[in-house]
C-alpha cells in the first residue's frame, strides 16, 4: 500500500469560470490559473503522483507549457491515473476536502465525485469529496483550496 497527499489552491477572480472536479459552478468569480485552475483535480493528481513517488503535477504538466493553457484538468487527472496504473498501482480510494468560504459547494459534491471516479477509472464508492469553510480565518475568502489523499495498492 502507498499513500499520497495533494494540496492546491487558486485565487478567485472576476472573468474566469469556476470549475471544481470538472463541474462548472455558477458564481460571479472563477479560479485564476494557467489551465482551467481546477484545484480539486490538481490536488487529486498530486495525491496520485505522491503515492507513486512520481514527483508532482508541475513536473508532469508544466504551467509554462502552452499546451496546458486553458487545459481541462480532468484530462490531466486521467493521465495521472494512467501513469500510476502503468507502474502497476491500483487505486484503493481517494478522499478530498475542498476549502471554500464561498460559494456554497455542497450541491455540486455528488457530481464532482462521479467525475473524479470516472477520470480515475474507479467506482464512485472509492471516491469521497467533502467541503469545509475556514470561517474567515484563512485563504478561503480569497480563493479555493483542495486537499486530497490517495491510497494505492501495488498489483501482486
Q: Which residues contact 67 (CB under 8 A, 6 or more apart)?
A: none
CB nearer to Mg ion: pick between 68 and 108: 68
CB nearer to Mg ion: pick between 8 and 101: 8
CB nearer to Mg ion: pick between 19 and 52: 19
CB of 7 to Mg ion, least distance (A): 10
CB of 8 to Mg ion, least distance (A): 4
CB nearer to Mg ion: pick between 61 and 108: 61
- Mapped to the 3 state alphabet, what secondary structure does 32-82 carry? CCCCCCCHHHHHHHHHHHHHHCCCCHHHHCCCCCHHHCCCCHHHHHHHHHH
- Burial 53-71, CB ≥16 within 10 A → b, else e: ebeebeebbeeeeeebeeb
CB of 79 to Mg ion, least distance (A): 15
CB of 153 to Mg ion, least distance (A): 27
Residue ranges binding Mg ion (CB under 5 A): 8, 42
Amino acid at each position: 500500500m502507498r499513500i499520497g497527499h495533494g494540496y492546491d489552491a487558486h485565487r478567485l477572480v472576476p472573468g474566469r469560470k469556476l470549475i471544481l472536479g470538472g463541474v462548472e459552478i455558477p458564481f460571479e468569480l472563477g479560479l485564476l490559473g494557467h489551465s482551467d485552475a481546477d484545484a480539486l483535480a490538481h490536488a487529486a493528481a498530486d495525491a496520485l503522483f505522491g503515492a507513486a513517488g512520481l514527483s508532482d503535477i508541475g513536473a508532469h504538466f508544466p504551467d509554462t507549457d502552452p499546451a496546458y493553457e486553458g487545459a481541462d484538468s480532468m484530462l490531466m487527472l486521467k493521465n495521472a491515473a494512467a501513469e500510476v496504473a502503468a507502474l502497476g498501482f491500483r487505486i484503493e480510494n481517494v478522499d478530498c476536502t475542498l476549502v471554500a468560504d464561498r460559494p456554497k459547494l455542497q450541491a455540486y459534491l455528488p457530481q464532482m465525485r462521479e467525475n473524479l471516479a470516472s477520470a480515475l477509472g474507479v467506482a464512485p464508492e472509492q471516491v469521497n469529496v467533502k467541503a469545509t469553510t475556514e470561517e474567515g480565518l484563512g485563504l478561503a475568502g480569497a480563493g479555493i483550496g483542495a486537499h486530497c489523499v490517495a491510497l494505492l495498492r501495488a498489483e501482486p
